[in-house]
Amino acid sequence: MSSVRDNPADLASYLRTLNSETVAPPTNAEGKQDGQISEAAFEQVVEQFGGSKTQADQLFGALGAGDSNPLTNAELLQGLAATSDSSSTSSQSLLTLMDQNGDGSASQTEFLALETALVAAEKAPKSSP
């Protein structure tokens, strides 16, 4: 199976396929994805994939650019899509988490496993009173 890192041009198409075949994040009344993942839920997923709490906290901050808590679905998907540019520290860290068999690359199956776990951890945002 090809590596997402080796085929960045196919990433957008692959993400569309993932979106249609994986766990769906919460949506609002208009059908717009509005799921959010808390820092604690993000830490749990990262730890399930062999990462540390420190690594999870650094990634959480990088994906949200420090501007939000929790991470929105859009921020999460942007961060995952950015792994096609493996020069950033956060992309390297995400790719390492994805590489569950340790072969030095993230296969589509490995990418899907992390993406699905993160989306499954998303919750609908709390409505304001």
Assigned domain for 66 exists = yes
What's the predicted TM-score (pTM) here?
Answer: 0.71
**pLDDT digit string (tens) for the chain, length 129 residues:** 455 556 555 665 666 665 555 566 666 667 666 778 888 989 999 999 999 999 998 889 888 766 658 888 888 888 888 877 777 888 888 888 989 898 988 888 888 888 888 888 888 776 644
Could you tell me if residue 5 is inside a domain? no
pLDDT (0 to 100) of residue 12: 59
Contact (Cβ atoms closer than 8 angstroms) between residue 54 and residue 13? no
Q: Let me know if residue 110 belongs to a domain.
A: yes
Q: What is the pLDDT of residue 23?
A: 61
Residue 26 contacts residue 122 (beta carbons within 8 Å): yes
d(CA 109, CA 76): 18
pLDDT score recorded for residue 46: 93
Total structural domains within the chain: 1
Looking at residue 127, what is its pLDDT?
61
User: Quick check: is 19 in a domain?
Assistant: no
Residue 11 is assigned to a structural domain of this protein = no
Is the residue at 6 inside a domain? no
- The Cα–Cα gap between 45 and 56 comes to 9
Digit-coded pLDDT (tens) for 19-45 = 555 566 666 667 666 778 888 989 999
Residue 1 lies in a domain: no
Buried b (16+ CB within 10 A) or exposed e, 81-98: bbbbeeeeebbebbbbbb
Q: What is the dihedral of CA 88, 94, 97, 103, to 10 degrees?
A: -60
Q: Which two tokens stand for residue 72?
A: 């929105």
Q: Helices (DSSP H) in 22-127: which residue ranges?
A: 39-48, 53-63, 73-81, 89-98, 108-120
* 65 found inside a domain: yes
Distances (CA, A) of 31 to 13, 26, 35, 104, 110: 21, 9, 11, 38, 28
The boundaries of the domain holding residue 51 are: 35-120
